[in-house]
Amino acid sequence: MEIDRCYAKIHLNYILHNYQQVKSLTKAKDVLAVVKADAYGHGAVEVSKMLESHGCKYFAVASLEEAVELRDAGIKGEILIFGRTSLINLHYLKQYNLIQTVHSLSYAEELNDQNANIRIHLNIDTGMSRVGFYLHSTRDIDGVAWDIETIAALKNIQLEGIYTHFADADSSKSDFCETQFNLFEMLLKELENLGIKNLIRHASNSAAAIKHLDKHLDMVRLGIAMYGYPPVPTKLEFKPAMEVFARVHSIHYLASNDTVSYGRTYESEKPEEKIATVAIGYADGYNRMLSNQDYFMIKDDQLPVVGRVCMDFTMVKVEDAAVHDGDFLEIFGLKKDLRGMCKSLDTIPYELLCNISKRVKRIYIK
Ligand SMILES: Cc1ncc(COP(=O)(O)O)c(C=O)c1O
């Protein structure tokens, strides 16, 4: 079907390129592809299928539903669920051969009581204070190790891996990442002493995968860099994988002092001011806070956004650019870096990519 409004062009070949950049960097056995939140908006099924066909063996998602979507689509590799799965849904973990993250002894015991022989990785909170076994100082090591020893002895769960998550691996100022990693390593040592060995150990996200080569352990968990936005400076080339385009619905010529859109926040500055109404709005994930703050591109011309962004439409000032009904404008992509929009919105690429909504059709480039 012809696209009447907006679409996202997803360069699967760039995602593969970015994945391979990190693969070439690491001595870790595996690079796990983080494909939660529909692969940060890029399409979890398409991204995972492509990566699997090039040898990727591990995927991670946030929830059981996301994991089931991948299995139903034919993904054969290991799928780790970061979030919590309700007891009532546990049978799906076995049925779909999924790996469940365990964040506490009580949850492990609940899983064990189900008699379902569930595969697990443990999440150790070394300073993120989000989820996981609390290990914020050396004083906590014995208690956490005792919990894990108890879990390792449970008959109906298989302890296969252990991980932690860094709070600021992208920081150039702090050494908190070192503190977290040291604690994690001390725990791993203690577990070895207790005879708990051969766990798959992982800690590094994109920032640490690029910047902290000494913290890769058995596997790195690669998210945002795979989509083209390395969160730390690097000599490696990462290519942004998503571009968004939207179609000009119609062109208008305003009189002086006409106002544009809800709240009348923009007033035309001259007679015959040329305005294009573009078929993208906040329901597509184009943030309303960009009203009067951003621009769209056509060829090399920048067209400033004027007036408030609506649910389905955004207006831009055309001036001398050659723009016609039905033309596609670039909202972000190869000519206009998403990071400029992030700056205006005081946010990060993760959020803007995830927010590109379901109704924006994804078109895949192989
Ligand atoms: C537990 C965990 N590991 C890895 C990642 C991937 O992080 P990044 O996208 O910064 O590579 C995330 C993302 O939020 C995460 O929650």
Burial (CB count <10 Å: 0-12, 13-18, 19+), residue 326: exposed
The pLDDT tens digits for 164-179 are 999 999 998 889 999 9
Closest-CA residue to 3 (of 364, 366, 360): 360
222 C-beta closer than 6 A to ligand 1: yes
The pLDDT tens digits for 70-97 are 999 999 999 999 999 999 999 999 999 9
18 C-beta closer than 6 A to ligand 1: no
229 C-beta closer than 6 A to ligand 1: no
The pLDDT tens digits for 47-67 are 999 999 999 999 999 999 999
Give the predicted TM-score (pTM) of the model. 0.97
34 C-beta closer than 6 A to ligand 1: yes
* Catalytic annotation, pick one of 7, 19, 36, 286: 36
The pLDDT tens digits for 272-283 are 999 999 999 999
pLDDT at 116 over 90: no
> Could you give the domains of the chain?
12-227 (3.20.20.10), 242-365 (2.40.37.10)
Q: Ligand 1 centre and the CA of 120: distance in Å?
A: 18
The pLDDT tens digits for 127-165 are 999 999 999 999 999 999 999 999 999 999 999 999 999
pLDDT for the residue 126: 98
The DSSP line for 306-353 is ES---SS-EEEE-TTS---TT-EEEEESSSS-HHHHHHHHT--HHHHH
The pLDDT tens digits for 14-39 are 999 999 999 999 999 999 999 999 99
Q: Ligand 1 centre and the CA of 98: distance in Å?
A: 18
Q: Ligand 1 centre and the CA of 105: distance in Å?
A: 23
d(CA 72, CA 67): 9
Q: Which residues contact 365 (CB under 8 A, 6 or more apart)?
A: 9, 10, 11, 12, 13
